């Protein structure tokens, strides 16, 4: 997988979602940031600093839940996407449960 450095301002983040990728034998928990210019930045749990970043999201994005409130809902069950919108600029926070329809 390609590795590169991308810099984004907190003020440019429009949406944050968490989900898993099925890698056949394991899952890869990811967080994706959508920016104001529709650029998307996806980070894998294997990225250095991933846990630190998740820990500061609530400090910088008002209403974004702390990881302990959503991690298990994304991590389980195994091999399912379990996508959750954690935060968006319009509402400040969306429900942790997936929307139907």
Tens digit of each residue's pLDDT (9 = 90 or more) over 30-42: 999 999 999 999 9
- How does DSSP classify residue 26? S
Identify whether 99 is part of a domain.
no
Identify whether 58 is part of a domain.
yes
Identify whether 97 is part of a domain.
no
Higher pLDDT pick, 91 / 8:
8
Strand pairing category for 84-88 and 40-44: unpaired
Q: What is the pLDDT of residue 98?
A: 47
Identify whether 101 is part of a domain.
no
Identify whether 98 is part of a domain.
no
3-state helix, strand, coil in the chain (%, to 5): 25, 30, 50
- If pLDDT is split at 50, 70 and 90, which confidence band does 20 have? very high
Closest CA to 33 of 12, 50, 47: 12
C-beta of residue 17 within 8 angstroms of C-beta of residue 70: no
Strands in 13-22's sheet, in edge-to-edge order, are 40-44, 27-35, 13-22, 84-88
Identify whether 95 is part of a domain.
no
Place of tokens 């590795």: 3
Identify whether 66 is part of a domain.
yes
Residue 49, domain extent: 10-87
Q: Structurally, how many domains does the chain consist of?
A: 1
Q: What is the pLDDT of residue 4?
A: 75
Identify whether 18 is part of a domain.
yes
């Amino acid at each position: 997988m390609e590795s590169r450095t991308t810099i984004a301002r907190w003020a440019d983040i429009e949406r944050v979602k968490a989900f898993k990728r099925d890698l056949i034998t394991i899952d890869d928990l990811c967080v994706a940031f959508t920016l104001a210019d529709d650029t998307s930045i996806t980070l894998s749990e294997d990225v250095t600093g991933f846990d630190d970043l998740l820990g500061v999201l609530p400090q910088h994005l008002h209403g974004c839940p702390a990881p302990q409130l959503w991690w298990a809902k994304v991590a389980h069950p195994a091999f399912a996407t379990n996508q959750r919108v954690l935060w968006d600029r319009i509402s400040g926070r969306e429900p942790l449960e997936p929307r139907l329809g």
